């Protein structure tokens, strides 16, 4: 059964979409079966893995409001889709979903119910989110067992992460008792800056091993890749950005294996 992970942060510009696309590609490179769900009306994750959001026959919008099923919504791996993972894409139509969801039964669980049909088909399902807390994000958190929080090591990021943790705690108590923080990922990392080091130290002090050892550096090739519709791994596999996300995938897999081994021992 797939591990469903939400990549989110209520602050914009911290690398959520970059992380979702590149982590999906890196996990797929390790032979894992991966599905990425774009839950942001901007559709940047969709475009970033080589799919034109304007020509989607079925998008996550139709899936959430019940106009299509999950199998039709999935854009599978093909020669025209260079990424090595499957995708449920998004575009501007998703903006209307928030209003329509208010009128639908079990509105917080629409994504969870839809994905239930394919959880046995994948090892990982990664969900990209808009930079806000809305009904779309609530759907993602209700469907997931873990949250990956990308964040820059800057002062305002510390304030933002405390608000996000409060949100995760509320979702855990009211909608999804399985939800927990999977890990905190330091992005756009520049070790030459003293503020970066200070904030990084605070994160490790407060969150301990929830902070990934892997850091994502500022990297030109990583920034260029989306304009070519490619994850960095397929755009320039030797770039520092691509190598960092491969390292993150490895760290995520090791953590998953460790948790599974711990559960087995407890049983």
The residues, any chain, with a CB within 8 Å of residue 233's CB and separated by 6 or more, are 22, 25, 26, 29, 242, 245, 246
The residue ranges of the chain whose pLDDT is under 50 are none
Give the tokens for residue 88.
Answer: 């449920």
Q: In angstroms, rounded to a whole number, what is the distance separating the alpha carbons of residues 123 and 263?
A: 18
pLDDT digits (tens, 9 = 90+) for 28-85: 999 999 999 999 999 999 999 999 999 999 999 999 999 999 999 999 765 555 668 9
pLDDT digits (tens, 9 = 90+) for 52-64: 999 999 999 999 9
Q: What is the pLDDT of residue 258?
A: 80
Q: What is the pLDDT of residue 114?
A: 98
Q: What is the pLDDT of residue 78?
A: 53
- Domain positions in the chain: 3-266
Distances (CA, A) of 66 to 70, 104, 105, 190: 10, 10, 11, 44
Q: What is the pLDDT of residue 81?
A: 56
Q: What is the pLDDT of residue 80?
A: 52
Q: What is the pLDDT of residue 220?
A: 95
Closest C-alpha among 24, 29, 99 to residue 61: 99
CATH architecture of the domain 3-266 equals 3-Layer(aba) Sandwich (3.40)
Question: For the chain, how big is the Rg over CA atoms in Å?
Answer: 17
Q: What is the pLDDT of residue 200?
A: 93
């Amino acid at each position: 059964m797939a591990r469903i992970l939400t990549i989110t942060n209520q602050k914009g510009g911290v690398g959520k979409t970059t992380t979702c696309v590149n982590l999906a590609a890196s996990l797929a490179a390790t032979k894992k079966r991966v599905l990425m769900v774009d839950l942001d009306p901007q559709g940047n994750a969709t475009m970033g893995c080589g799919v034109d959001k304007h020509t989607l026959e079925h998008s996550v919008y139709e899936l959430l409001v019940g106009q299509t099923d999950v199998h039709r919504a999935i854009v599978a791996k093909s020669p025209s889709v260079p990424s090595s993972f499957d995708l449920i894409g998004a575009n501007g139509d998703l903006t209307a979903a928030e209003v329509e969801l208010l009128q639908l039964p079990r509105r917080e669980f629409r994504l969870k119910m839809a994905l239930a049909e394919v959880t046995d088909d994948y090892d990982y399902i990664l969900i990209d989110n808009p930079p806000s807390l809305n009904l779309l994000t609530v759907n993602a958190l209700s469907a997931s067992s873990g949250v990956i929080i990308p964040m820059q090591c800057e002062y305002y990021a510390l304030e933002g992460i405390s608000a996000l943790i409060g949100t995760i705690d509320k979702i855990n108590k009211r909608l999804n008792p399985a939800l927990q923080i999977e890990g905190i990922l330091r992005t756009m990392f520049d070790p030459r800056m003293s503020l970066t080091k200070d904030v990084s130290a605070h994160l490790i002090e407060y969150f301990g091993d929830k902070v990934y050892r892997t850091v994502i550096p500022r990297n030109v090739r990583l920034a260029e890749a989306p304009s070519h519709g490619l994850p960095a791994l397929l755009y320039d596999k030797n770039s520092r950005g691509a190598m960092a996300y491969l390292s993150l995938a490895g760290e995520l897999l090791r953590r998953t294996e460790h948790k599974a081994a711990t559960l087995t021992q407890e049983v």
